[in-house]
Amino acid sequence: MAATLRDVADRAQVSVRTVSNVVSGYEHVSEKMRQRVLRAIDELGYIPNPVARTLRTGRTGLLSLVVPEIDVPYFSQLAREVIDAAGHLGFQVMIDQTGHDHERERQLLRGGGRRNLFDGMLFASLATRDELRDVNPAKSSPLILLGEHVFDRRFDHVAIDNVVAAHDATSHLLDRGCTRIAAIGSQPKESYSTPLQRTEGFRKALQERGLEPVNALQRTAAHYGRADGYAAATSLLRKAKRPDAMFCYSDLLAMGAIRAVFDAGLRVPEDVAIIGIDDIEEGRYSRPSLSTVSLDTPFIARTAVSRLAARIEDPSLPAEEFIAPHTLIARESTETRR
């Protein structure tokens, strides 16, 4: 017969409640006690019954993570970190993607019966204030917003300071003597925060050095992929007065821009310096390696999951904003100047 909670409790010489707390990921259990219970679980081959747990606690032990595109390296890394952080607290994670479809985002936020599958949601997609306004925090399951939002004190928010990150990237190019700096990644038709904030940081850095942003050197990007970066950079390089540097709003845009520079018969960074944001693994091994603003994805994941777990325990917690640190990493795409 399959081992039960009582069997584990007897083997570990603890109460059934203690075993239940360990299995449920309850954090207020001493490490010594936790290890004793885990050894007993391993020895007996105990498998928790999720249906029984749901009936007993009203919780499923499942969290939902919503991202725009799972195959974008940043979101893949975020998903991995979220899964690890959730596992340490006894949760499992199901991942959904919106494909940048706002109607899909609305459906996931409204949830209906589907939201009842999850104890809480981590939402790393592009929803605007209007879409979030339809969600009543008091009547929905716990929700944590990641990245693309302005904190409005209704929902917890975990993000980086996009204005400062863009300012740091642009300042790095200025420090290396660049003066005709292009920006790739604005999205004027969208109302979510990241493109607007990164444009603000870009413009602010130039103005602090007495330079006015040149509209002709700014390019939009429908998505933050390599092809978008390639197309935008190719357009910029056809100008009679081409840029001597490009600040790209993501590393993937920057990877496409680097290819465009080489296809134009130019060199990175000797002719055009390039920097991105994200610090994806591909950029560390490209040639030239990519200068970037590195985001502390583990911090974002750990903070978001722990805050969601706390909100599941106490839905009345006031909303808070958590800003993750970032670091500028200079590599070959900006480091060698004539």
The architecture (CATH level 2) of 62-161+296-325 comes to: 3-Layer(aba) Sandwich (3.40)
CB-count burial class (<10 Å; 0-12, 13-18, 19+) for 103: exposed
Q: d(Cα 54, Cα 245) in Å, to the nearest integer?
A: 55
Task: Establish whether domains 62-161+296-325 and 162-295 are of one fold.
Answer: yes
Residue that has been written with the tokens 């004793």 in this structure = 36
Q: Can you give the three-state secondary structure of 276-333, one letter per residue? A: EEECCHHHHHCCCCCEEEEECHHHHHHHHHHHHHHHHHCCCCCCCEEEECEEEECCHH
User: By the 8 A CB rule, do 200 and 263 touch?
Assistant: no
Q: Can you give the three-state secondary structure of 28-55, one letter per residue? A: CCCHHHHHHHHHHHHHHCCCCCHHHHHH
Three-state DSSP at 145 gives: strand
| pLDDT at site 24 | 66
Summarize pLDDT for 52-78 with one digit per residue, the tens. Answer: 555 455 567 889 999 988 988 999 999
Summarize pLDDT for 286-312 with one digit per residue, the tens. Answer: 999 999 999 999 999 999 999 999 998
What count of Cα atoms within 13 Å lies in the side-chain half-sphere of residue 324?
Answer: 22
Q: Where are the domains of the chain?
A: 5-57, 62-161+296-325, 162-295
Residue type, 71: D
Q: Does the structural domain 5-57 have CATH classification 1.10.260.40?
A: yes
User: pTM for the complete prediction?
Assistant: 0.79
Three-state DSSP at 135 gives: coil
Nearest to 236 by CA among 182, 180, 178: 182
Q: d(Cα 115, Cα 126) in Å, to the nearest integer?
A: 19
The pLDDT of 95-109, averaged and rounded, is: 81
Residue that has been written with the tokens 């444009």 in this structure = 199
Q: Calculate helix-pair angle for 162-175, 193-208, nearest 10 degrees.
A: 40
Summarize pLDDT for 201-228 with one digit per residue, the tens. Answer: 999 999 999 999 999 999 999 888 999 9
The architecture (CATH level 2) of 162-295 comes to: 3-Layer(aba) Sandwich (3.40)
Residue 238 has pLDDT above 90, yes or no: yes
| pLDDT at site 338 | 43
At residue 101 the predicted structure's pLDDT band, cuts being 50, 70 and 90, is: confident
Q: d(Cα 304, Cα 86) in Å, to the nearest integer?
A: 10
| pLDDT at site 23 | 74
Helix (H) or strand (E) segment spanning residue 78: helix 73-88
Residue 120 has pLDDT above 50, yes or no: yes
